[in-house]
Amino acid sequence: MPWYSDRILPHLIDHVASIDPLMKQRERIVPLASGMVLEVGFGTGLNMAYYDKTRVSRVYALDPFMHLPERTARRIASSGIDVELVRAGAENIPFEDETFDTVLMTYTLCSIPDPHTALEEMHRVLKSGGKLVFCEHGLAPEPNVKRLQHVLKPAWKKISGGCHLDRDVPALLKSASFGLDGLRAGYISTIRIVSFNYWGEALKRN
């Protein structure tokens, strides 16, 4: 359904991604980014309002799709931050090893086709001692919620642009050699199948 994926879905995603619980998570996480930043899954620039301009030198905005370009340009312009758009997927990041001080990822891992490879790439382009700053939804701890996530995933993916309800975020981070010391988790709304969040800072381990 190209008409849906091209004309309807970008607006729907932008609307859902800007609801209050998610924006509060962005407000909590994005200011932790510093130095040279790679934002993976830039989307329409919803994070731009929360960067700390005194800590960030430049943002490289990675996304395989550049939907709603006018809206994106307005958000970048209003931020006052130097941003370079990079049209590429997270599984093949077009930068040298150890380029970035911070990789930022917000509500992106759920829709990346190969999350393990993508996280390995993020690990590769981080400098030694660099950090992955993230907030993501994923697999819930309660068995009944978890079962419902598994059952609903096929239909959910079709209407949401490939979003997986049940990705095990800590396991994926650990498999890509990220530390989990700064990991936090919990529900951020009452809709449990989509609101169990993982967030924090994951340090690069060599």
**How large a percentage of the chain has pLDDT more than 90?**
90
8 A C-beta contact, residue 202 and residue 131: yes
HSE at residue 118, side-chain half, CA atoms within 13 A, is: 24
- pLDDT per position as a tens digit, 155-164: 999 999 999 9
Rounded to whole angstroms, how far apart are CA atoms 122 and 109?
Answer: 12
pLDDT band of residue 3 (cuts 50, 70, 90) is low
Collapsing DSSP to helix, strand or coil, 189 comes out as: coil
Q: Is residue 5 pLDDT above 90, yes or no?
A: no
Strand partners, 201: 133
Q: Which residues contact 157 (CB under 8 A, 6 or more apart)?
A: 163, 164
Structural contact between residues 151 and 131, judged by C-beta atoms closer than 8 angstroms:
no
Mean pLDDT, all residues of the chain: 95
pTM of the model: 0.95
Q: Which candidate, 119, 99, 121, places its Cα nearest to that of 35? A: 99
The whole-angstrom separation of Cα 138 and Cα 128 is 28
pLDDT digits (tens, 9 = 90+) for 119-153: 999 999 999 999 999 999 999 999 999 999 999 99
Looking at residue 29, its amino acid is I
